[in-house]
Amino acid sequence: MIQIRDLHKSFGDHKVINGITLDVERGTTFVVLGGSGSGKTVLMKHVIGLLKPDSGTVFVDGIEIPRLEGPPLTEARRMFGMVFQGAALFDSMTVYENVAFPLRERQRGIATDELRRRVVEKLKVVDLDEDVLTRFPAELSGGMRKRVALARAVVHDPKVVLYDEPTTGLDPITTAYVDDMIISAKQRLGVTSMVISHDIASAFKVADKIAVLYDGHLAAQGTPEEVRRSDHPFVQRYLSLWFEKQ
């Protein structure tokens, strides 16, 4: 579904992505793990075409994203949903308006009843009731905002959902809830998911495959078990610190 080929990206003299190649299979959850500043978010922004690579390329469902500009890029983005680290809900809109936004934009003239039905349906997927519809993002807890963000990301039935640090800053209970939400979105909606995270526990819980990003390149990738057995010094240190903590 997603193929990244020898991707390179620098900002000024700082090389952020240094030759990354990976594949995400359709209907699976792929987690990119790495420390702060390792280039995870930059990698994800290339997948959805928010950044252009210096060299290398990205294919999503057979479409070469970096080659697209203007309306074709806009059209290609219709197959994505994205959950941002801070949820990125539109703070001047209610929950209903936020979740309805992508649908309204894709299907201009959609009937109000149909719009409401689909918004409520997707809010149910993330265990939210209709009573949140009229609330503003500032009136929601961090976990609820993340759930609304996921409902907004999947309301138009995208092929791919991208998660940028979905559990950062959340308490353990809400973190577990968000993990279940990612698994549920995959199982109930059949979407391909790519998760950017530094949360090792969450990664091992939700991932079909994991890649560990270090200093702009992949230190390891494979199933969770294969990554756990990696002999790369950074991966060993990164994981052992966490397993010791457990």
Site residues (vs another protein, CB under 8 A): 48, 50, 74-75, 77-78, 80-82, 84-86, 88-92, 101-102, 105-106, 108, 162
Residue 146 — φ and ψ, nearest 5°? -60, -40
How far is Cα 85 from Cα 181, in angstroms, rounded to an integer?
Answer: 15
Least separation in angstroms between residue 181's CB and another protein is: 18
Q: Which is nearer to another protein, 99 or 213 (CB)?
A: 99
Q: Which is nearer to another protein, 88 or 201 (CB)?
A: 88
Structure tokens at 174: 């809400």
Least separation in angstroms between residue 30's CB and another protein is: 18
Least separation in angstroms between residue 27's CB and another protein is: 21
CA-CA-CA-CA torsion sign (244, 237, 31, 13): positive
Q: Which is nearer to another protein, 86 or 233 (CB)?
A: 86
How far is Cα 72 from Cα 69, in angstroms, rounded to an integer?
Answer: 6
Q: Which is nearer to another protein, 156 or 209 (CB)?
A: 156
Least separation in angstroms between residue 224's CB and another protein is: 28
Q: How far is CA 156 from CA 80, 132, 144, in A?
A: 9, 20, 20
